[in-house]
Amino acid sequence: MNQLQNQKLNHFIITFAVIISTLKWLMMLTANRFLIFISVVISIYLLGRMIWIGRFKHLKRKPRTIVAFWADILLLWVASLPVGLFGLSSFFKVAFPLTGDQFTWLTVNRHWLALLGAVIYISLFCWLLLMRHFFVNLLAVPETRFEAAFKITAKSVSLKDLWFSIRLILQAIVVITGLIIALAGVNYLLPLKATLVISEGIANLVVPIIEARLFLQLFALAKPGPVATFKNCFGYLTIAFGLVSIMGINFNSQTSKPAQQTIIVHRGIINNNGQPNTIGALKRSARHHFPFVEMDVQETKDRFFICAHDDTILIPHLGHREINRLNLRTIQKYHHVELFQQYLQTANRLGQPLIVELKVTNQSDRQMGSRFAKAFGAEMLKQPNMVHSTGYRYLRQIKAQYPEIKVGLVTMLNFSDLSRYKVDFYTLQHWTLTPFLLRMIQPQRQVYAWTQDHAFSMQRLDMMGVNGQVTDQATQLSRLSMNPSENNWLRVLNLLIIYL
């Protein structure tokens, strides 16, 4: 590739980064589902266009060539979704629809599904890297057949080439991580609005460029020239940086602002001040007068609701057994457990509002929510007690009998279009929480994050704009200084969640 071709390719890469930033800005601005679909189509086209320019521009546009090429691009696009896709994955992964039952089933079975998915994904991704020469060999000569291209590629497959590909990916991850951490450090030392705008502009322009060059090296098998060649694009880069920075200012205006945090005591304990989900711990924690105590409830086989977090309990000579397959008498024979009825009455007497997590397993009875509402609905209404759960069906059953009781959806992983569910609030797992997910839900409904026990995580989530936090360290959260003007570096650091 000569210098002129390199410059043209670099111009396209810069344009590519600007368009990607524009798509993210528009999605954040509108939170429109149709626009998200359009962004999916545009991102696939841009990825294909870039690789076509980088390697296959000379090919004749025969139908067979075009079909084979776009099949390759679609495969690359799908394979890139779990690892950021230029920062677009954080938008796309919370936009696809699931029914409430589908969401619950995926959440309850997340452990084996995640393990299976990881094995399949890693295997396919390694296969893709090993066979990365395949479509190049297929398309290099339009007359080449699939079998011939496969044989040619198989001869070049080696662990050395796989390690080369993995090394390129790791290098890109290190560079992106280092860049964002460095920019966060600058904002920590210079906590100014201008510093934030410049830092986000740099990240939102440079990171997609780094990822675009990685795609070219891996799958077009063509180096887009050394980074130094971008010096010939200085004017173009400056204009692109200006556009991305201006969009960044507007992007930030659409993100949720830091809010007064609703402090929620996780499992009824503060700094290990008692046994979780017990009346004794509730009494000690209630003295602090935090807005809510969160606790866990399970239904036994004989339809009693007990205070317990884990789905299983150890029974001598039988091992771990699921609580909803055991009678209360069997459980009480080996373990001390609190009945939820007594726990709720104690909380009401103490004036301590609860957020009750109704635990769900694959064996949970389909009418569990209705029974919970019938048994405790009137008592729940004596103060602003709420219920949350991963079981959407059960939340709707409670709401049908007692519309005044606020119900919320709990997530273990943040995926699918959560905003479509008919709930009053959300309790979202904090590691995969993104600004766009908050944008989809707020301000109509409250978003609480769980479970973070370190000051860094607490401040990061406050800067992201959650309404409250579920924590084992409630007193630490209450004493924490939340100064948005001094914590812009955390907003920059949140870019790691978007890009990696």
The residue extents of the domains of the chain are 3-254, 262-481
Task: Please give the share of the chain, as a percent, with pLDDT higher than 90.
Answer: 65
Report yes or no: 399 and 405 within 8 Å, Cβ to Cβ.
yes
| 135/126 Cα distance (integer angstroms) | 16
Give the Cα-Cα-Cα angle 299, 472, 433 (nearest 5 degrees).
85
Average pLDDT rounded to a whole number, residues 56-66: 70
Tell me how far the alpha carbon of residue 51 is from its chain's centroid. 28
Selected from 1.20.1200.10, 3.30.479.30, 3.20.20.70, 3.20.20.190, the CATH number assigned to the domain covering 262-481 reads 3.20.20.190
Query: Minimum mean pLDDT among 62-66, 102-106, 114-118, 163-167: which range?
Result: 62-66
Report yes or no: 493 and 464 within 8 Å, Cβ to Cβ.
no
Does residue 47 have a pLDDT over 90?
A: yes
Residue 356: the pLDDT is 99
pLDDT tens-place string over residues 370-379? 999 999 999 9
Report yes or no: 472 and 466 within 8 Å, Cβ to Cβ.
no
Q: Which residues does 103 contact at the CB level (< 8 Å), separation at least 6?
A: 390, 392, 409, 416, 421
The amino acid that residue 455 corresponds to is A
Cis peptide before 142 (omega within 30 of 0): no
Residue 224: the pLDDT is 54
Sign of CA dihedral 119, 123, 129, 135: negative
**pTM for this predicted structure:** 0.91
Residue 130: the pLDDT is 85
Q: Answer with the residue of higher pLDDT: 133 or 98.
A: 98
Report yes or no: 212 and 21 within 8 Å, Cβ to Cβ.
no
Average pLDDT rounded to a whole number, residues 68-84: 88
pLDDT tens-place string over residues 222-271? 555 555 566 667 787 888 888 888 877 766 666 667 778 999 999 999 99
Q: Answer with the residue of higher pLDDT: 219 or 263.
A: 263
Average pLDDT rounded to a whole number, residues 407-412: 97
pLDDT tens-place string over residues 277-322? 999 999 999 999 999 999 999 999 999 999 999 999 999 988 999 9
CA atoms within 13 A on the CB side of 20: 33
Q: Are strands 338-339 and 305-307 parallel, antiparallel or unpaired?
A: antiparallel
Residue 256: the pLDDT is 64
Residue 69: the pLDDT is 82
Average pLDDT rounded to a whole number, residues 151-179: 90
